[in-house]
Amino acid sequence: MNRCRKTFAVLPAVALCALGFWSVQPNTASAETETGDRPVISIPRGGGRAAFEKFGCITCHLGDGRGGQNEGGYGADLRVTKLSEAEVINVISEGRGGKGMPSFKGMIDEETLGLLAKFIKEDLRLK
């Protein structure tokens, strides 16, 4: 009987230790392919809007694309841009040094550039 009490007294302490050990283990998830490589996700979830935020476009152009004078400088009003999608991609890639638009060449992949341009031309456009 005494032995049983000791076992029941120790059991909660062992359970708490095990729980504490389990909670400090890193929470990792495996997303490996058949070759063992991990896939690269180049497009932010949420498409063009997410990329617009991720790459800091909202700093100068604001969340709705209206731009104007703000903490990022002076951003063009993307809601009324006359540039084509291809021209928007070019401006994002090459920048416009004289106007304060930085170059994102090599920082944003081609597919995401397309999503950004489409987002600017379709979603931000004044209707």
Give all domains of the chain, ordered by start, each with its CATH number.
47-123 (1.10.760.10)
pLDDT tier for residue 107 given thresholds of 50, 70 and 90? very high
Report whether pLDDT(105) > 90: yes
Share of the chain above pLDDT 90, in %: 46
Name the average pLDDT for the chain.
Answer: 77
Identify the residue with better confidence: 13 or 63. 63
Identify the residue with better confidence: 10 or 84. 84
pLDDT one-digit tens code per residue, 9-34:
555 655 555 545 444 444 444 445 56
The DSSP line for the chain is -HHHHHHHHHHHHHHHHHHHHHHTS--------TTSPPPP--SPTTHHHHHHHHTTHHHHH-TTS--EEETTEEE--GGG----HHHHHHHHHH-BGGGTBPP-TTTS-HHHHHHHHHIIIIISS--
